[in-house]
A and B are shown apart, each in its own frame.
Chain A
């Protein structure tokens, strides 16, 4: 037992500082977790309770917003884009029928011409249009420099889309790899979190264990630059080893790798 953790009395272990500093200040810079909230008896203090309820209300509102694919297409130029929709016709159906969100609407089939591509990027709204609006185009641009000499398919913008929709799209396009960027379900402190799922030889019926995932790309999470660094590394490893999934272990030394600018070249 560490003596420093022993109060002189449970009911009075305060220091003599009249103006007690916020002991959590140093830690609040390292996390958005709701630390050091204090207690009203065993419950949350009123302000903390209402802060939580406001965040929850906003997250629920965010689930039902629409991605701005017109602006994303403009941001992606000079890359070509193709807009498709899943078989889920609206949000309400999308939420209860994930099977429809994993398949293309028949009317979208003709938009995807078979070609010979090394990689296809798919941007799917998922459960957060805000994430896709904020980070998707920037992540694609930041990843391209890692793919020297690759044949990159037009970027597909998919409405009411889930992760496995990328398999259907990439198989029709004839791409050897798919990187599907998707809005992750909103949390209270991050309603704009983007995830990326990478699949080698995508085809309908692939299992989740055959994919690799990068999650939590948002302002207070993984930056777009760091996400692109990881994504570029994973895509090159996938192409080299000709696989993705649990057998492609990430031996990248750190999640937020330093900028590879000091490499002699």
Chain B
């Protein structure tokens, strides 16, 4: 494939190949600069976007950024591409595609029908031509609904993951954070624990704690211990009550190897979880986490920019009908996303790209203490994402994860967003709150009074 070029003013900007063009068109971020593939000047970045806007979408079917022969994710993307679904936009350039996505014609039904016809590279390309507001407006028109014991992703709703992590997996300590979250009505997407140590006995102990609380209070929730997929498979073989199987994934075969997984191992895990038949209203049994920079940090990005590689991870996710996927957007650190501006942009890109591909996307709105960001910045991103229709957000006690040593959202934040925007949790979970008598006449979950009988009973009963 010959390169691309564009004259802007008196300068001729040349791009050696498609992946170089994509990298130069990407909004500025430290990870692409670290990889040495970012545009050196702002003008060159816009020159790349001008070329990209004129590029036919079909180019991405004929010019694989990572060769088909070398990478099983590329093979997955091209082998499962739905040509009839693609026909609607097959004649368009990337620029035309942006205009069409923003048009009234591209409504929820049209976007849902189109999803299987899109490849990650097409979606990543069009995102590079979109402002934050465009990413929000189009994502808000997408609908990806999944089910296990609750229904997640319905329009006008906002679900949440309750993340009761503890630095030594102490069951009483985990229970404390779990019960605290329930009192804010958090957890309708999943109650999910990151274990401090990845081993089968610890995994089963945590899972049994979650199962005990779920059954005791008849909670319509699903639980998950976020260990390596092989740990989950072993736990299933030992008869553990596994609802969802978790795995971190990335957008290249080599990066997934860095996580210790292949597509066939993920297929084996999905089959193992399905065999338990624990879903009550649906059978979405997988939970994936992703994040820009994962492939580069494993030395497995093949010279492709981090936003495009991230989008390829969503092709991996959608092959396994997940209940939940989320980007851990600010977790990776300043060498990939330097500051709040880059974290915000990446969070909106990841959500938009996943939704357009038909992936049930949530976001861990978060940052680390070595990044240039703070809780004010998280307030902005969570509000943007809730407006964009994000499937779920993650929350921990007081926004402080004492196991993973980073800051996410507080239970307060998600509850406040639900009330501010009038977005209740999943209907099954909302019905539980209503039947419990926890909602006021405006359907809010008000603060508990000092010495509340409910709080007292919950804390004394649970463990």
Contact = CB atoms under 8 A, between A and B. Distances in A.
Given A33-B400, A52-B399, A207-B257, 14 more contacts: A7-B452, A24-B176, A30-B172, A31-B174, A48-B398, A55-B400, A59-B369, A62-B369, A96-B334, A98-B297, A187-B404, A187-B405, A216-B196, A250-B197
Interface stretch (B74-82, B128-136, B443-451): B443-451
A256 to B, nearest CB: 6
* Top 3 A-B residue pairs of the complex, sorted by shortest distance between their CB atoms: A34-B398, A20-B451, A187-B405
B17 interface: no
A43 B134 CA distance: 30
A63 B370 contact: yes
Contacts of A96: 30, 34, 334-335, 338
Nearest to B183: A36
A14 B449 contact: yes
Interface of A: 1-2, 4-8, 10-15, 17, 20-21, 23-24, 26-28, 30-39, 41-44, 48, 52-53, 55-56, 59-60, 62-63, 95-99, 127, 184-190, 193, 207-209, 214-216, 218, 220-222, 230, 245-246, 249-256
Interface in B441-463: 446-459, 461
A37 B397 CA distance: 8
Given A63-B369, A98-B34, A246-B260, A34 B397 contact: yes
Given A6-B454, A10-B438, A254 B397 contact: no
A11 B370 CA distance: 43
B54 interface: no
A34 B410 CA distance: 9
B454 A2 contact: no
Given A1-B436, A186-B405, A30 B456 contact: no
Contacts of A33: 164-166, 173, 176-177, 180, 396-398, 400, 402
A4 B452 CA distance: 11
A145 B452 CA distance: 52
Nearest to B177: A33
A220 B167 CA distance: 8
A31 B34 contact: no
Interface in B172-190: 172-177, 179-180
Interface string B161-173: 0001111111011
Contacts of B177: 31, 33, 35
Contacts of B105: none
15 contacts: A7-B438, A12-B449, A15-B452, A17-B451, A23-B451, A31-B172, A41-B416, A42-B419, A187-B406, A188-B400, A188-B402, A207-B257, A216-B168, A254-B201, A255-B202
B176 A30 contact: yes
Nearest to B455: A23
Contact-residue size bin, chain B (C-beta under 8 Å from the other chain): 35 or more
Nearest to B331: A185
B415 interface: yes
Interface string B185-228: 00000000000111111100000000000001110000000001
Contacts of B11: none
B259 interface: yes
Nearest to B256: A209
B447 A41 contact: yes
Given A2-B461, A33-B177, A249-B199, A52 B375 contact: yes
Contacts of B405: 184-187, 190, 193
Contact of B176 (A27, A41, A43): A27
B199 A250 contact: yes
B274 to A, nearest CB: 23
B454 A7 contact: yes
Interface of A is mostly: loop
Nearest to A208: B258
A198 B311 CA distance: 32
A207 B406 CA distance: 24
A173 to B, nearest CB: 23
Contacts of B202: 254-255
Contact of A6 (B399, B407, B437): B437
A211 B260 CA distance: 11
Interface string B52-76: 0000000000000000000000000
Contact of B450 (A14, A27, A55, A190): A14
A185 B231 contact: no
Contacts of B461: 2, 4
Given A30-B170, A246-B228, A14 B451 contact: yes
Contacts of B197: 214-215, 230, 250, 255
B400 A189 contact: yes
Nearest to A98: B335
A196 B150 CA distance: 39
Given A7-B454, A250-B197, A216 B167 contact: yes
B245 to A, nearest CB: 15
B384 interface: no
B160 interface: no
B380 interface: no
Contacts of B218: 1-2
Contacts of B175: 27
B26 to A, nearest CB: 17
A140 B173 CA distance: 29
A6 B454 CA distance: 6
Contacts of B452: 7, 13-15, 23
Contacts of B196: 215-216, 221-222, 255
A253 to B, nearest CB: 6
Contacts of B198: 250
Contact of B400 (A24, A34, A36, A253): A34
Contacts of A245: 260
A225 to B, nearest CB: 13
